[in-house]
Structure formats: structure tokens, C-alpha cells
Chains A and B, each alone.
Chain A
Amino acid sequence: MNPRMTVNPSAVGPTRLDFDVIRELVEPGTRILDVGCGDGSLMALLVGTHGVRASGIEIDPDGVKEAVALGLSVVQGDADTDLVNYPDRAFDYVILSQTLQATRAPRKVLENLLRIGEHCIVSFPNFGFWKLRMQVLLSGRMPKTKLLPQPWWDSANIHFCTIRDFVDLCAVMGVEVENAIALNAAGTRMPFQAPWWFWNLFGEQAVFLIRR
């Protein structure tokens, strides 16, 4: 592997613990689309370790430049408007990593992901996490954490949800949850047998493998 195709370490700090989980969900040698791929860190990782054929979409031009300079295929575009242009079942996996909460129409985006990919992998910060609940309860202000450091007025995140909210949406949309993993604040996986309420309280972020 080209030494330049390594991962930007700043992007794999505590905020990108979901990458490890996503790597386990993706079968080697498949076609993936990373929606909101940033600088292409996850794509580069999956190309290097899984030999996938990766494509990406990123709204931030600086991210696209980094990714293209790594030799990755990334389109400067918007998940809310540009996914409609992709044909049905063009990819084995469509990945939406920490991006769902930043879309204008999350349900529409999900509909497109499920259409474009055989499987979808969605990771998102859990707004039901106990620390966030405590901050709202005790300070009466919008919470800030290491994962969500921006103040409310400077955040691209406009559609937060909890793990339970997401599970509810999957049910409404008739989506099959193939796998789900919640990570606590330390990045440790929560026990699989634990009930949803437990995940919803102690999971800081969640990764779902879904399909239709």
C-alpha cells in the first residue's frame, strides 16, 4: 500500500470509533459508497484493508481535495440533493458515518441509501446518551461533548436523534435491522443482549447495518 494512503490521524481519534465497527461489517472486495466521506479516511482504510472499490460524496471542498489527492474517487456534492442520481443497487454497502444528523431530510436520505445499496451502514451520535440528558437537565442548555463539540449555533447537526428514535424510524420505513452496535463513552461495545433502553442511555454512538 502506498505510504501516502494512510489515515489522517486527526480523523480517527475518539470521534471515529465507529470506523472499527464499520470495518467489521463490510465484506472484503465489495463496492462501497461513503456518503459524507470527509477527507476519505474511512475509504482509504477500507481500500487498504478490505480491497473494496470505494466511491465517496463530500460537501466540503477541502475534504474532497484531500481525498482526491489520495487517489480516491470522491464527488463534491450534497447527500440531500445528489443521491437521487445514483442507480438502484449500484453498491454493496452505502455508508453514512456521522452524517445523518447533518442532513436536511434524513428520511429521504435513508430512502435513497436503501435504494442505492444492498446494505446500508449508518452511524450516528445518540442524543439519548445519559451525559447529554444530564447536561440538558442540569444546565438547561444544549449539550456539548467531545463527540459533539460545537455550540448549537455553529453546528451542522440539525437532526439529532436517539437510538430509540432511529429504531422507530426503521420500523416505520419497513427496514430490516441486520445488525446494531452501540459504543459507550470509552468506545467499548455494549453487551449485545442489553435491551434498547440500556443502549439508549449508555451508548454514546450507534452503528446500524440495515437493508430493505
Chain B
Amino acid sequence: MTSQIVADGGVSTAGTTGDERDLRLRSEVDQPSSPVARFTDEPLRLDSGQWLDSWQIAYQTYGTLNADKTNAILLCHALTGDQHAANTHPLTGRPGWWSEMVGPGRPVDTDHFFVICSNVVGGCAGTTGPASMNPRSGRPYGLDMPVVTIADMVRAQVQLIDRLGIDTLFAVVGGSMGGMQVLEWGASYPDRVFAAMPIATGPRHSPQNIGFHEVGRQAIMADPEWHSGRYLEMDTKPRSGLSVARMAAHITYVSEAALHRKFGRNLQDREDITYGFDADFQIESYLRYQGSTFVDRFDANSYLYLTRAMDYFDLADDHGGFLANAFQRTRARWLVVSFTSDWLFPTSESRAIVRALNGAAAQVSFMEFVSDKGHDAFLLEEPEFHRAARGFLTGAAIARGIEPPGAAI
């Protein structure tokens, strides 16, 4: 494994055994190293009609909330992200997933903004999900966890924001599944969002994307170690199933051009093909590595639940079939962002959002950035995108009457 082909997921767990890593992953589920807001007598209503009577949400904050509580930015993480956006990850020891974007002097400038990032409902990093202890049964939820939706995730975030005493968020920002949450915030809580930045996302999950998710779920459920979702009680987990799910998904996060650039048909530590099924090609070795490290930091049932939440997302369907209806009450300023080589959430999806926002006479900006990094571009070093994000937030800060990051320049 050469370092130049590690896009993400490389772990600093050398020297620890698989059992130790599993224990650490499991302890982050119920007793995370992040702050936790616990709701024991404020049940969470779910779209499925069920309720979570007793639940918790884990979050990280960066920067300082101002006296008027007008400078809070909520970051919404993607499918396999978590609340550790800009701090060292407690399990992997790697920088947070958006440390390129978030921090002092960065586009989401923690010297000026109070940044909140919480783990989604259904996740496995400290917010209630299928790996969490079910208070009714005294064992992990597994498939007894009700199915959650993007709207449920946002409803939980609203309760966290209430708990933190924040009325209106200065901005809600997120990519991919996080972008879906941004859209949901803008549609369902129009009075509580001043600026919204949905990135590399869409107003609904496409049939192609649902198909990819289904492949991942079937891989997990076909693994005998899955045990109908009860693997935690049996001290095992569907490692190979989750790993295959991650490998397949990872291909959808990059572009063909990037795969050519990074790997081509190069062979892995060998001079010639071996006429066997070992990882002859670098791309195979890379994907196997991505799969195996993912298993150390993610719960397989969580993967089922969160992919399902994305599949069920269809904002227009929630508003009489017309996407513009979803944004009728929005007063936020919007910046919609897409990347040219993203084929998971192509620019046409972002344009559909922009059309709907225009139809609702919203204040909307839209930019498509040229990148060959595929869907993952939003997580990576993309100077032009970062500059635009900074400019958008600065302009919004001026409009909001809070000290803008650009003021010192």
C-alpha cells in the first residue's frame, strides 16, 4: 500500500488487535468521547410513526457562540461521516473528515463562527442507532431500531439546537447525505436557517443510487456473521459483508478519470499477473484496504439504516410532488454546489434544486466546479470551492450583521 493512494480511511491503529478496535468502536456507541445530549423525557417522533422514547445525540463544537447566538453553523455529515468534522478521530487517529474546510482561518472559520456537528440518528458514533442499547430490552437495538429518515435526522438536530439555546442557525452546510439534511432544514424549518449550502446532493435519491445501496445491503445481509442483525450479542460482525459494501460504494465516490490517474492498470507489488484471484491490481488492493479499515470504524446495521434513509429521501414527494413547494417559505440565502465529475449526484440534480428555489423566488447561488475527483471532491482540497464557500459565508455574515471572517482582510 503506497501512501499516495490513500484517499481516506487509513487508520493509525497499528499495534491494536481487531478485538481492541471492536471494543473501542462499541464504547463510542453508548459512551462516546464527544459531548452528548440525552433526551429521556422528550421522545423523538419518527416518520415511520414510531417514537424513540429515550435517545441521545453526540456532537462536537468548534469556536465560540456569540452573545446573540447568531453565529452558529450546523454541519451535516455524509453517509459514513460522524461528528468529528475538524478534530482528531477518536478511533482512527486521523484528522476530521472536513478539516480542509473547517477550522481557524478556514472557509468555515471557527475564529468567527460557532460550528456544531452532530452524529445522525441511526449512526454509530454516539447518537442513538441500531448498535445502541435498547432501554426496553437491555440489548443492542439491531433491527428493532425503527427505520429512520433524513427528516428524522433533522428533527433530532432541531432538538439538539433547542437544547443549546439557539433559535436561528446562521448556516446549515453539508454534502451528499448531509446536503439532503440541508435541504430538509431549509424546507421544514425556514425560520431557523439564515443561509444554506447543500453540496453534491440531490432532491431525491436516484434509482441508480438506490441500486448501489441495495448491493451494499445485500452484501451485509448475505454474510453469515450478520445473524439477522444480532451479531453484536454474539460478539462477531459481518466483516466481509460490510467490507464488500464499502468497496462497491467507494467506486461510486470517485471518477473514472481519478481511477486512471491514481491506479491505471498498475499491478500491486508484483511484476506480472498471477493467474489467480489475489489482488493483482493496485485498484483491487486499494478497495480491499478501504473495505477492511471501514469495518473497524462503522457498524454494519448502521450502514443498512443510513443507506435506507437516503433511499427514502424525496423532497418533492413530501410536498405534493412539486419541489418548488418545498421551498415556498424559505427566506434563507442558498449556495448550491456541484462538481463536474460527480456521477453519484451529478450537476443535473443540483440544477433541479436551483430550479425549485428559483421557482420559489429564493435567493440562490449555484456553482459547478471543475474537478476530476468525483463525488468525494467536496471532502477534498478544492481551492476554488473553498474560496466560494468562504465568500458565501462572508456575504451572509454581513447580511446577518455578525462580524464577517473577511473583515480583517
- A: residues with CB less than 8 A from B are 2, 4-5, 31, 53, 55, 61, 64-65, 67-77, 85-87, 90
Contacts and interface: CB of A to CB of B under 8 A. Distances in A.
A68 B359 contact: no
B27 interface: no
26 contacts: A2-B398, A2-B406, A4-B409, A5-B398, A55-B363, A55-B364, A61-B368, A64-B366, A64-B367, A65-B367, A65-B384, A65-B388, A67-B365, A68-B335, A68-B391, A68-B392, A68-B395, A69-B394, A69-B395, A71-B396, A71-B399, A75-B365, A85-B355, A85-B359, A87-B359, A90-B361
Given A73-B363, A75-B365, A75-B366, A65 B387 contact: yes
B197 to A, nearest CB: 11
A69 B383 CA distance: 13
A55 B363 CA distance: 7
B333 A70 contact: no
Interface residues of B, number: 30
A165 B315 CA distance: 46
A90 B364 CA distance: 13
Given A65-B388, A86-B358, 6 more contacts: A31-B361, A68-B365, A70-B395, A71-B396, A75-B366, A87-B361
Nearest to B390: A69
A90 B355 CA distance: 13
B358 A73 contact: no
B391 A70 contact: yes
Contacts of B334: 73
B368 A71 contact: no
Give the 7 A-B CB pairs with smallest separation, nearest first: A71-B395, A69-B391, A85-B355, A75-B366, A73-B363, A90-B361, A68-B365
A86 to B, nearest CB: 5
B354 interface: yes
- Please indicate which of the listed interface residues B355, B358, B364, B368 has the most CB atoms of chain A within 10 Å of its own CB: B358
A124 B281 CA distance: 59
A80 to B, nearest CB: 15
B387 A69 contact: yes
Contacts of A55: 363-364
- Please indicate which of the listed interface residues B365, B390, B392, B396 has the most CB atoms of chain A within 10 Å of its own CB: B365
A65 B104 CA distance: 23
Contacts of B130: none
Interface in B93-133: none
Nearest to A74: B365
Contacts of A77: 354, 366
A5 B407 CA distance: 12
